[in-house]
Amino acid sequence: MLEGISVTEARKSFLPLIEKVDSELYCFMVTRHGRPVAVVMNYEEYSRMVETLKLIEDKQLTREIKKGLAEIERGNLIPLPDADDNE
C-alpha cells in the first residue's frame, strides 16, 4: 500500500515510519507542497524491483523469454527426466 505523507510529517515520525515499512509491505510517498518527491519502502522490496527492472532492460533475455513462451504455447516442450532417474 502506498500512503502519501508530507516531508514535515515524515520528519516528525521518521522512526515509526521506518518501523512500519520494515514490518509490512508498506510504502510512503513523501510530498513537498503536494508534489511527490520521494518514496520510502522496504529494502527487500526495493531490491526485487531493481532486479526486475534490470531483467526487463536486458533485450536479449527478453527475446529469449518471449521465444520460450511462444514455444510453450505451441506445445513445443522438451520433457525433463524424472528426478528419481538421477539417483
pLDDT of residue 31: 96
- Which pLDDT score, from 0 to 100, does residue 85 have? 56
How many structural domains is the chain composed of? 2
Edge-to-edge order in the sheet of strand 27-32 = 2-6, 27-32, 35-40
Is 81 within the bounds of a domain?
Answer: no
pLDDT digits (tens, 9 = 90+) for 72-85: 899 887 777 754 55
| pTM assigned to the model | 0.62
Instruction: Please check whether residues 12 and 25 belong to one and the same domain.
Output: yes
pLDDT of residue 84: 56
Range of the domain at 66: 44-75
Pairing relation of β-strands 2-6 and 35-40?
A: unpaired
Q: 36 and 51, same structural domain?
A: no
The answer to the question of residue 16 being in a domain is yes
Each residue's pLDDT tens digit, 1-42: 788 999 999 999 999 999 999 988 889 999 999 999 999 999
Q: Is residue 66 part of a domain?
A: yes
Residue 30 sits in a domain whose CATH number is 3.40.1620.10
